[in-house]
Structure 1
Amino acid sequence: MVGYNEHNKSLVIIDRFNTNIYKNANMCILGTSGAGKSYLVKLLALRHRYLGISQMIIDPDREYARVCNALGGTLFKVGPSSTTFINIMEIRESSFEEEDSNDDENVSNRGFLAAKINKLHTFFSLIFLDITPTEKAYLDEKLVACYAKKGITFDDNSLYDDSLTEKISIKRRFRFAQQMPILGDLYELLKEDQKTEKLASQLRPYVDGSLKFFNNYTNINLDNKFTVADIHDLDDEQLAIGMFVIMDIFWDKIKEDRSQKKIIYMDELWRLIGSTGNSRAANFVYKIFKTIRKYGGAGTAITQDVSDFFALENGKYGKAIVNNSKLKFILQLEEEDVKILKNILNLSEEEEVKVQTFERGTGLFYAGKNHVAVKVEASPREHELITTDRRDLEMLKKKKLEQKKAQEEATAGVIA
């Protein structure tokens, strides 16, 4: 359930994974600051969790901790003070995106290293902003050498450690996270060569400077069905990089089991597909929205900066993601944002006015070809878990203190 129809007060209930109705389960949520985006997302996440659906959330504003804790989820932070790390250089067995062969004899045909290096070029495009084609070729050469020093080559058999495979085991064992190179290994190769000294200088902060938390082995567990990645401590310049690193590992997790339903929430996605992103990063995100359906998954794009969402290459990637989302929720927007969306969503004049005047928590909901004005509705318990209203939080704090006092008095009475 999403809420109720503003016109006739009927309930609005959807099953986003119903392939008989929707071509995909992707969703876009757009709305200005304070329109109710986070409230809606947290409510949807709660209800999807009730249904046993795995969910992964990228949280740039530290808004999902309370609901994560209430659901017994996993929350990890990526930032200067974090003790949890993700190694962007790590190759994961689930990273392969085509129809995998179950025949271990054909494993060398999958191309794990080539796919990882291609993805790393996207990552480094967010760091080396002015890299030349010649420097890119040198970087490619160093990446191959970096993996070779760890015994990893374009033969995918090199990624399987047969010393870890038990004699009675049929399935071969993939390399552990600690057997992969990290950014520091690449940095050492770059700084040794005059042709790549400039790249080494730009990479150094990520190795032994203020951003060295990117230079470590992966130590997070994504087996929990509700996982939140907190990137609040990253500054504006590093948010896109942090988002990409997390999206990369989430995407690999999504591909592990096609039979399991799962959703990835990408808050403030404009940072990768809009004005602060680039075409490589944006294309990576678009690819997720385009192909996630075949892995049993759904992407949810969330943003308050509509103009930035459609800023890169005349809105090419923003439009592609919107068009690849059969579900859309448009909360209150400013006039300029409505002008941008008018042609993309074929808004009528009446809808243009409505979107600008919606109250908080009310929006235009698109489900396939149908769209209707919907008021988001939460139960009292759900509201307690997801509200960020200061008055609500003060009341909840007061309520907890009263409950604690009552419990202490009751305990004291029993002892007496």
Structure 2
Amino acid sequence: MFTRTEERSKNTKKTGHSKALKLLQRHKKERGKQERKNAPSRATQDSLAYRAMYEDGLCEVAPGVFSKSVAISDINYQISDRDHQSDIFSKYAEFLNGFDSESTVQINIINRRKDIRQFMQETSFKHRPDDLNALRDEMNHIMRERVESGNTSLLKEKYVTFTQHADDRQRAKTSLNQLQANVVTSFHQMGSTARPLNGLRRLQLANATLRPGSVLHFDYDDLKYSGLTTHSVIAPTSFNFKHAKNRFTMGDQVAQVLYLRDYPPEISDRLITDLTDIMADLEIAIQIHPIDPVKGMKMVQTKKGFMQKQKADEQQKAMKAGYDPDILPENLTHSLDEAEDLLQQMQDDNQQLFDVTFLVMAQGKTDQQLDEIIEQVKAAGRRHSCEFANLDYLQEQALNSVLMWGQNYVPVSRTLTTSAAAIFIPFTAQELSDSSGLVYGVNQVTQNLVTADRRNLKAGNGMILGRPGAGKSFASKQEMLSVRLRDADSEVLIIDPEREYSAVAQALGGEVIPISQGAAAHINPMEINEDYGDDEDPVIFKTDFILSMCDMLLGGKNGLSAERRTLIDRACRLTYQRYFEQHTAMPTMVDLSNTLKQQPEEEGKQIALELEPYIEGSLSVFAHQTNVDNDNSVVVYDVKDLGKNLRSMGMLIVLDQIWNRITKNRNSGKRTWIYVDEMQLLLSNEFASNYFFELWSRARKWGALPTGITQNVETLLLSDNARRMLSNSEFVLLLDQAANDRDQLTEMLHLSEQEEGYITNADSGHGLMIAGDAVIPFENDFPKKTKLYKIMSTKPEDMEQYISRKKLHEDGGEVSGE
């Protein structure tokens, strides 16, 4: 059994002797009494080897020994190219060398099955009082099927615990905080994020191992009234270490800890990957204790000296027997060579020695279930010429060596060099699993669901890039639908130059605005609201937009003259002044033209004359009051039929309408999602390109998430604005790419050769997702026999079928089942 000290929380300040406070304290005392009554037995609690777990995350493991823990994020080690792997490996080896013999490092890699009910509770699409619940149900059904199949129900977490010797808690805190800063820096250099754990989080992790499936309801203040220690809240109902010589029970679970007994000199770094691919609750713990370099050197020299004496004895025996003295036993010759090589490495290659213990803990509901998991662990070892063995009569010590206290209680270890210890590098492949995120598919490496929340990124602006048929429109539509089905307060605005998004608008009850020379739908470019300005006078910003539009229409190669800019600026201000002061109808381009004609300068009349085709003539589609539902939560701007003469102007006006919505939505607390298909069309005109770039740059501050979509990556990247936009986008979906496009993107986004492979000849819907620092190879094979698929499909037959079926349904006709 292990002993431990009791913990006490800090005394709370006296806040008076009111009746309410007395009642509260009485309630807490009653709860403390109940907690004492329900606590596991003292013997069960004493089986947990640590002494105290403090609220700040400091753990007193044993007298004079303290530890802290950090959670580390995974990185794409297994799909990195050899040079990058070598760089990560070297940095990890340096990390190990940074510990002295007074420290211990413990690496924990945890596989946990997802609680599917809890997962669906967090990520499912909740019903709302609208007509979209059938689509939400279908999305939930697809998501549930995915999480229940393959490895998608596994969560993989990684932690580092490190210990220091200290005379008291305060000294331990100082030295461990210093060590923690070094650990965080080391992992940052490897591309991983290290996040320190507080006491509650460390207890929650222990609770998840000791009482799987339970939720830890605990507050450190509880200890004051219960008189208990933290052991009481995480201990299972019972331990039975006599269940069998090599396994034990804890509560209703059967568990077993194995150790890695034998492995070859050239072990693969994929052992951990293969172990974590096992579909079971597993916990890997690697205990690493540095050996003092001077002692290590003496130890190797002593062993070498012993083997040299053995060699001399063997040679004497051979001479007496009349044999050749140079013929020695092969294992002795090999051991001497190894010792010589090791001394050389320690002297010249910064190699140190470590005592390493590699443990794997598995648990199940029954012995039979546990047998199956243990066999899978041993089989994974055999694939790498490794042998996992039982720890007979050492299961209590082994359990505590797996739990994240930071101490090894198993009297079994193997002495390894730095590079040999570093082969157990904990990295495999990055995961992306935001609990508040949308589902984008399945991780091709780990087979876990990929869920991402662009709202949490520093800059959630995004691009979706892929050659024709790669699945970019489908991916865009899936995100649009998911956004609206998840968040009723979000708005989706789409610029559609190829008429691909009508089915999405119809499915979501949105508005399709056809913009063309002869269309009955009109958008007024003079439309303004009080929020239009960037927290400043909206007229100034709107006037700047009108100037840009007039410059595009009338400026020619040299742009508008200073006189013309002055006149247009004045006319705009006067027009809006009448609107705001006299509360007249929203001004239009006709009103601007009339104001220009009223100016004393003849040049004003000349400007009005040159604008006449866009105000009264054949191109006057934008000279009317807005007559469409521009306030719908889903708006598709169909610009397919915009003629050559109106395309640039039309794109600019649509962008300005979108900016109007963004500013309005921010003050209403709404998020605006913007999608621009064939975005290279916007960038072909200088004015539209600059306006789009400004909108893109300002979007985050205004609660907007713009997304550019294109198949013409080479053309897109000819624009300096586009390159800057891509560089500043933290969300990029890369689907199958043409060779030239792929080369440019690989260089620009710093992709490895292996990562580039995921966008080379990729199936439709397969590729790479970049979200912040994460680079995830994903696949999105969406079920075809669903309504959602027909809405999102870009195949004309699917789109037409969906629209016609919806129209038939709205007209009261019967619709046959799928």
State the TM-score, normalizing by the size of structure 2.
0.42
- With over 3 angstroms needed to count, the CA separation of the structure-2 counterparts of 1:142 and 1:91, relative to structure 1, is farther
8 Å contact from structure 2 (residues 808, 815) kept in 1: no
Greater radius of gyration (CA)? 2
Corresponding residue of 1:241: 649
Listed as ranges, the gaps of 5+ residues in structure 1 are: 99-109, 164-174, 410-416
Structure 2 CA distance for partners of 1:58 and 1:393, relative to 1, 3 Å: closer
CA contact (8 A) 2:586 2:625 kept: no
How much has 1:83 moved relative to structure 2?
1.9
Residues 238 and 364 (structure 1), Cα distance of their counterparts in 2 relative to 1, 3 Å cut: farther
Distance 1:366 1:113, change over 3 A: same
**Matched residue, 1:170:** none
Note the 1:72-91 alignment, pairs <5 A. 72-91=509-528
Q: Structure 1 residues 93 and 337 mapped into 2: Cα distance closer, same or farther (>3 Å)?
A: same
Q: Distance in 1 between matches of 2:738 and 2:750?
A: 17
- Per the TM alignment, residue 406 of structure 1 is displaced from its structure 2 partner at its CA by 9.8
Q: Provide closer, same or farther for how the CA distance between residues 324 and 385 of structure 1 changes in structure 2, counting only shifts above 3 A.
A: same
* Contact 1:30 1:329 (C-alpha < 8 Å) held by counterparts: yes
Any conservation in 2 of the 1:54–1:263 contact (CA below 8 Å)?
Answer: yes
Q: Look up the SS of the partner of 2:500 in the other structure.
A: coil
Change in 2 beyond 3 A, CA 1:184/1:255? closer
The change in CA–CA distance for 1:139 and 1:92 in structure 2 (over 3 A counts) is farther
CA distance in 1, matches of 2:696, 2:725: 7
Deviation of 1:143 after TM superposition, in Å, equals: 1.6
Q: 1:324 corresponds to which residue?
A: 728
Deviation per CA, 1:149-204, whole angstroms, max 9, x where unpaired?
54x34xxxx6534x6xxxxxxxxxxx46x341415743884799765787556533
Q: In the alignment, does 2:583 pair up with 1:160? A: no
Pairwise mapping of residues 156-235 of structure 1 onto structure 2 (< 5 A)? 159-161=579-581, 175=583, 178-183=585-590, 185-186=592-593, 189=596, 195=603, 203-235=611-643
The change in CA–CA distance for 1:227 and 1:400 in structure 2 (over 3 A counts) is closer
Shift of the alpha carbon at 1:346? 0.9
SS at structure 1 position matched to 2:758 = helix
CA distance in 2, matches of 1:246, 1:323: 25
State the match for 1:111 in structure 2: 537
Quote the Cα distance in structure 2 between the aligned partners of 1:179 and 1:262.
Answer: 24
Structure 1 window deviating more from structure 2 (395-404 vs 331-340): it is 395-404
Q: Does the 8 Å contact 1:2/1:377 carry over to 2?
A: no
In the alignment, which residue of structure 1 is the partner of 2:446? 8
Equivalent AA in structure 2 for residue 302 of structure 1: I
User: Is contact 2:516–2:643 with CA below 8 Å preserved after alignment?
Assistant: no
2:515–2:637 Cα contact (<8 Å) kept: yes
Which residue in the other structure is 1:311 paired with?
718
Higher helix fraction (1 or 2): 1
Query: What secondary structure is seen at the aligned counterpart in 2 of 1:360?
Result: coil
User: 1:209-246 CA deviation, whole Å, 9 max, x = no partner?
Assistant: 33210211223333221111111111345333212111
In the alignment, the residues of structure 1 paired with residue 815 and residue 501 of structure 2 have an alpha-carbon distance, to the nearest angstrom, of 30
Give the secondary-structure state (helix, strand or coil) at the position aligned to 1:210: coil
Instruction: Kindly indicate whether residue 562 of structure 2 is the aligned counterpart of residue 137 of structure 1.
Output: yes
CA distance in 2, matches of 1:290, 1:400: 38
Partner residue in 2 for 1:54: 491
Q: In the aligned structure 1, how far is the partner of 2:646 from the partner of 2:756?
A: 35
Distance in 2 separating the partners of 1:320 and 1:246:
22
Q: Distance in 1 between matches of 2:766 and 2:597?
A: 53
Higher RCO (C-alpha 8 Å, min separation 6): 1
| 1:393 Cα deviation from its structure 2 partner | 5.4
Distance in 2 separating the partners of 1:132 and 1:191: 26
- What's 1:122 paired with? 548
Match of 1:33 among 437, 443, 468: 468
Distance between the aligned counterparts of 2:529 and 2:799, measured in 1? 41
Query: Residues 260 and 377 (structure 1 numbering): CA distance in 2 closer, same or farther, change over 3 Å?
Result: farther
Q: CA deviation at 1:382?
A: 1.0
How many residues in Structure 1 have an aligned counterpart in Structure 2? 370
Uncovered stretches (5+) of structure 2, i.e. residues with no partner: 1-438
How far off its partner does 1:206 sit?
A: 1.7
CA distance in 2, matches of 1:345, 1:238: 35
Which AA in structure 2 matches 1:388? T
1:23 paired residue number? 458
CA distance in 1, matches of 2:815, 2:678: 44
Higher mean displacement: 54-63 or 31-40: 31-40
Partner of 1:166: none
2:691 counterpart of 1:266: no
Q: Post-superposition shift, 1:16? A: 1.3
1:364 to 759, 768, 789: 768
Summarize the Cα distance change of 1:80–1:131 in structure 2 as closer, same or farther, 3 Å threshold.
Answer: same
> What secondary structure, in the 3-state scheme, does the structure 1 residue paired with 2:454 have?
coil
Partner AA of 2:571 in structure 1: C
**Do the aligned partners of residues 127 and 397 (structure 1) sit closer, same or farther apart at CA in structure 2, a change above 3 Å counting?**
closer
Give the share of equivalent positions with the same residue, in percent. Answer: 26
In 1, the alpha carbon distance for the partners of 2:588 and 2:814 equals 53
Distance in 2 (alpha carbons) for counterparts of 1:144 and 1:353: 53
Task: Describe the SS at the equivalent of 1:4.
Answer: strand
Larger strand percent: 2
2:507 to 35, 54, 70: 70
Measure, in 1, the Cα distance between the counterparts of 2:478 and 2:622.
32
Counterpart Cα distance in 1 of 2:620 and 2:520: 12
1:386 maps to 792
Do residues 251 (structure 1) and 659 (structure 2) align?
Answer: yes
Contact 2:805/2:815, CA 8 A, preserved across alignment: no
The answer to whether the 8 A contact 1:24-1:293 is kept is yes
1:97 is matched with which residue? 534
Query: SS at 1:351's partner residue?
Result: helix
Tell whether 2:747 aligns with 1:351. no
Cα displacement (A) at 1:73: 0.9
CA 1:332/1:128 → structure 2, altered by over 3 Å: closer, same or farther? farther
RMSD: 3.2
Equivalents in 2 of 1:318, 1:228: separation in Å?
23
Contact kept? 2:519, 2:621, Cα under 8 Å = yes
Q: What is the CA–CA distance in structure 2 between the aligned matches of 1:112 and 1:366, rounded to whole Å?
A: 36
**Pairwise CA distance, 1:299:** 0.8
Q: Deviations over 1:337-382 (max 9, x none)?
A: 1222222211223333432311222121101111122122435221
Change (3 A) 1:402 1:297: closer
Q: Which moved more, 1:399-408 or 1:81-90?
A: 399-408
* 1:302 partner SS: strand
Instruction: Give the 3-state SS of the residue equivalent to 2:455 in structure 1.
Output: coil
> Which residue of structure 2 aligns with residue 334 of structure 1?
738
- Whether 1:297 aligns to 2:704 is yes
Write the distance in 2 (CA, Å) between the matches of 1:249 and 1:283. 16
